Structure 1
């Protein structure tokens, strides 16, 4: 019955026409994609995709370069907060306390909060997702704010955990939902399934409330629960290209081992200059400038190994372009090949790449990681008495208001860009505050530093360029700052 209905639909489609993509003719007869939801596909193949992506990120040079380039552009030295609290003194206190805390943010003690951001960007690129657990600490631990973050890899949340729960809830791919679809908890494994050095019980899970977990993921489908590696569309090409390169390298290596071949009409009679190797094969060890006498009838032929051919480099280039498009990383960033790049096409590629990065910074890194951590950090700081904020429970939204400043972009020709930005500010098309925020700086902090520098220069009688001359002039007004 189902086959008959499918045949009927194809007949109707052939009569109606319209979309070639929906036809069942000769060209698309064998194009039968799965209609399963992405969650089903991830449950079936997600573990293999992640394992292959991790293997490539450890063993393939292009994959390593892509991961590091992505993390460096998304996070750089860190996506940093600038509090929007109106009280300047309280804002300065919040910023100082945050800066002190960032050094102790990592529960493993391997990096600071901005290093955790970079690790998160790498993990989401490789595995499609990563988790952070809030770990409250005791006052005797000596932290400026009693809070740390524990990073949990995606393999720790089993894709195979799917169970119905009383009351209409369910556990889907390790995530517990209530009856109306809200995330309630995560059921993590106590030990990594691939870590044999951990003596914990394999397969044992622990339930952690969703309020204690930050799930960083870049979803591509509506209703998607778990992440998919960005390597998914590039795994096959990267792996096969790697094998092809290895085969070419081995072929050239074997060919280079054979410099000369000697033919003789009497193979049973060994020539005097020949020796036998470990396998019993006759070899002739030549020295620079040596002259070897051969027996009558023996001839020497040089080895002429086949070259890789003129199509090798164009083939590599086109294949790597496809890999670059699949990963969303410019070709030059993927390969470090600057031969084909010039200023114009490099800038065009960077503009497109940076738009993608900015969208990712806002939608994933800031919204999913930075904001929840900032809110939990401030709650912990107020509860621990590290911050005094009157009416915090009532004015919590006001106190939490914050701008997150990504690292500034460096251009190929910074002088031209700086001049263009100055002209935009002078023409009123952009404010200094906006220009500074785009460079990853807080305008109020920069202005305060400039005012302090000028005051110190006047006090010491120093003069540096036009700014210094104005500051050192006895008739110059007191230092002020403008936007």
Structure 2
């Protein structure tokens, strides 16, 4: 059996064979609090980590938040354009103040949720719908979000109630609700930790889970936390060493003690003397037995940049990030940059889709449900009720490195029928309905004022058709045989 065993399973002098025997929940319970506090400290004090989370915010949510394009259908299968426009208008108005405190807009809320989720491992959002005692809604639709950090959810278990680290589940593992602290436990050391129960339908719990059956989340930085802390300490040491090296210092080497004697009254009193120093000076104030030397340093080390970049590449690999984006190092050929962008985009899309599934879709559907129930949005009779919540969710897309080449590629795909105009617009992060509306308005205005641009292919076609018609009429206007031949 020893011969058949995998070498990795057998500890040796060079292989310690560390193992994890705990369940996913037990591992998170023992580690999550310390890891998320370390991640927060690095986010607050280390520029590399701050830049990493900034870039993840930009690529998962973006500056405008997750775009939502309602797509309800009529009973004949066509898009209910007017109803969709009504929903989009109300959604845009609500997006100005969706959060309970009224401080943040929807894009700001989504970026903050993403940062908390990835840095701390999880984030919470409580739905406030309808009439709630002591709360006044700030929007026409009586719906708001209460954002909560994971600290609000205790890590203790209660097996008698089926509660695992603040999450209550049934015997099948389905979440029934959450036990939440009424106040942040770190706000006051004298506060009694009282909790309240929130139904699962009224709470969003978005988490990074890496084990089957894991209830709570773990920080995205967990695998690279030690490496990041080491890089930070090493950079700080090199920075201090460089500052010391930059401070030019001299020392006086004393030879035979018998030849040395204090030179001034100040030397006799303090044992120290100051030597003036200036550009191009000639100094002959040394006494017998003395020589002048300089304190030299080889800092910063020439190996610093290569070592630091290698460490950042490892951090990027462990966080679904991109080395170039984290290090802000964009050197390389077009092909190399394109390959890195394509590979890193897959990682961003995994996080983006997870955020849409666990957060954005649930918020939109609950908001629309409340808006309809409150009478703020009326569903037309000819709309298929089963499609009311249909929508397309649009996140940030992969940027174009060479817009000319990529625009030509999209143009060919559309012309050959392998892609649609909607795909092209969405690949640029646009909304097809809004773009079509703007195009209709500007083309109509251009035609009214006799303005012709290359973007209006109709004018070129129309002008060419009109010219051909005039030529045909001219050719057919002859007399005699020519006219008979034209008629034939």
The reply to whether residue 144 of structure 1 matches residue 134 of structure 2 is no
SS in 2 for 1:206: strand
Per-residue deviation at 1:474? 8.0
Q: How many positions carry a matched residue from both structures?
A: 453
Aligned to 2:349: 358
Among 312, 315, 319, which residue is 2:311 paired with?
319
Aligned to 2:126: 133
SS in 2 for 1:164: coil
Among 198, 222, 240, which residue is 1:208 paired with?
198
Per-residue deviation at 1:395? 5.9
Among 101, 108, 116, which residue is 1:115 paired with?
108
Aligned to 1:247: 237
Among 87, 97, 102, which residue is 2:95 paired with?
102
Call closer, same or farther: CA 1:271–1:158 in 2, change over 3 Å.
Answer: farther
Aligned to 2:3: 15
State how 1:36-55 maps to structure 2 within 5 Å: 36-55=22-41
The reply to whether residue 156 of structure 1 matches residue 152 of structure 2 is yes
Among 65, 74, 84, which residue is 2:71 paired with?
84
The reply to whether residue 185 of structure 1 matches residue 180 of structure 2 is no
The reply to whether residue 348 of structure 1 matches residue 339 of structure 2 is yes
Which structure exhibits the higher relative contact order, with contacts defined as CA atoms closer than 8 Å and separated by 6 or more residues? 2
Per-residue deviation at 1:63? 0.7
**Aligned-partner Cα distance in 1 for 2:152–2:261:** 69
- Any unmatched runs of 5+ in structure 1? 1-11, 478-483
SS in 2 for 1:296: coil
**Aligned-partner Cα distance in 2 for 1:281–1:407:** 66
Call closer, same or farther: CA 1:191–1:27 in 2, change over 3 Å.
Answer: same
Per-residue deviation at 1:405? 1.1
Per-residue deviation at 1:274? 7.7
TM-score, normalised to structure 1's length? 0.86
**Aligned-partner Cα distance in 1 for 2:18–2:453:** 71
Contact 1:57 1:63 in 2 (8 A): yes
State how 1:395-434 maps to structure 2 within 5 Å: 397-434=386-423
Aligned to 1:458: 447
| Structure with max Cα Rg | 2
Contact 1:406 1:438 in 2 (8 A): no
**Aligned-partner Cα distance in 2 for 1:283–1:150:** 66
**Aligned-partner Cα distance in 2 for 1:422–1:280:** 83
Call closer, same or farther: CA 1:245–1:274 in 2, change over 3 Å.
Answer: farther
State how 1:375-390 maps to structure 2 within 5 Å: 375-390=365-380
**Aligned-partner Cα distance in 1 for 2:388–2:381:** 10
SS in 2 for 1:429: coil
Among 241, 252, 262, which residue is 1:262 paired with?
252
TM-score, normalised to structure 2's length? 0.85
**Aligned-partner Cα distance in 1 for 2:52–2:446:** 46
- Any unmatched runs of 5+ in structure 2? 74-79, 467-488
Contact 2:97 2:103 in 1 (8 A): no
Call closer, same or farther: CA 1:275–1:425 in 2, change over 3 Å.
Answer: farther
Call closer, same or farther: CA 1:460–1:246 in 2, change over 3 Å.
Answer: same
User: Deviations along 1:300-353, whole A, 9 cap, x unmatched?
Assistant: 1122223444433322222222122122211111111234x3321111111011
User: Deviations along 1:210-268, whole A, 9 cap, x unmatched?
Assistant: 22111111322111111111111111111111111212222232344352111234597
Contact 1:219 1:227 in 2 (8 A): yes
Contact 1:458 1:471 in 2 (8 A): no
Call closer, same or farther: CA 1:459–1:376 in 2, change over 3 Å.
Answer: same
Among 54, 68, 85, which residue is 2:54 paired with?
68
**Aligned-partner Cα distance in 1 for 2:151–2:184:** 7
Structure 1, 430-439 or 146-155: larger mean CA deviation: 430-439
Per-residue deviation at 1:140? 6.7
Aligned to 1:480: none
Aligned to 1:4: none
Runs of 4+ off more than 6 Å: 273-277, 471-477
Call closer, same or farther: CA 1:469–1:226 in 2, change over 3 Å.
Answer: same
SS in 2 for 1:163: coil
**Aligned-partner Cα distance in 2 for 1:201–1:227:** 26
**Aligned-partner Cα distance in 2 for 1:146–1:382:** 11
Q: CA RMSD in A?
A: 3.0
Aligned to 2:218: 228
